[in-house]
Each structure stands twice: as C-alpha cells, then as structure tokens.
C-alpha cells in the first residue's frame, strides 16, 4: 500500500521562508507532486519531481530524495495569498497513472 505523512499545520509571517516536509511509503515510486488548494477551491498543480534534487519555479521549490523517501516544498518570500492547504502526492507504479495524496498541510501566513 501507500502512505504519506505531512505536518498538519504550519504558521509563518509574510516575507519568511517555510518548508513543508513529506515522507512516503510506496511499493513502486514514480514521482512526487505538490498541490496548493485554497479554501473552497480545487487543487492546483505546483511541481513534480521524478529525480533527486531541487526543482525551482519562482518563489516555490520542491526537493526529492528517493533514497530517503522524502521530499519538501519550499516557499520563499511568503505572501498572504500563500495561505492555503498544500498536498504532496505520490505517483505509485502500482497505482497506474494515479497519484495518492497526503493528508495536507494547512499553511497560515500572518502579517
């Protein structure tokens, strides 16, 4: 089976940097994705890592270590609009094209 763990809540102030960790267990790993979801909205795709290392997209970066079954999402220069839930999702070879989602991390950005 698959399981993912994320912190349930993270709080930071505007302008700060925050890291949201994700550890996973899968039977066959393809890749790790991150999604942002604002209250009442649908998830939006942020990043996908299939290989070890850091991927940077603007203020957001995502890191993967396959040997450690671990990844993180790094958000820099936090803005109030970044307050949302963030989900990591694993693409598991045994699960076809589908992703299995983590429980989500609620990020609150304070002024």
Partner 1 sequence: GAVVSQHPSWVICKSGTSVKIECRSLDFQATTMFWYRQFPKQSLMLMATSNEGSKATYEQGVEKDKFLINHASLTLSTLTVTSAHPEDSSFYICSASVQSHRGKVGYTFGSGTRLTVV
- Binding residues (CB under 8 A) for partner 1: these are 30-31, 33, 35, 40-45, 48, 50, 87, 89, 91, 96-104
Which CB sits closer to partner 1, 15 or 94?
A: 94
Tell me the closest approach of the beta carbon of residue 74 to partner 1, in angstroms: 18
Tell me the closest approach of the beta carbon of residue 22 to partner 1, in angstroms: 12
Which CB sits closer to partner 1, 40 or 58?
A: 40
Residue pair 90/97 in contact (Cβ under 8 Å)? The answer is no
Tell me the closest approach of the beta carbon of residue 79 to partner 1, in angstroms: 22
Q: Which of 36, 30, 41 is nearest to 59 (CA)?
A: 36
Which CB sits closer to partner 1, 17 or 98?
A: 98
């Amino acid at each position: 089976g698959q399981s993912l763990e994320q912190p349930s809540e993270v709080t930071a102030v505007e302008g700060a940097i925050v890291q949201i960790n994700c550890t996973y267990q899968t039977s066959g790993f393809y890749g790790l994705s991150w999604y942002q979801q604002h209250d009442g909205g649908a998830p939006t795709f942020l990043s996908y890592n299939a290989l070890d290392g850091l991927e940077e997209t603007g203020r957001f970066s995502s890191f993967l270590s396959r040997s450690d079954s671990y990844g993180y999402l790094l958000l820099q220069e936090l803005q109030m609009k970044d307050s949302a839930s963030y989900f990591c999702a694993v693409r598991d070879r045994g699960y076809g094209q589908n992703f299995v989602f983590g429980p989500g991390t609620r990020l609150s950005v304070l002024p």
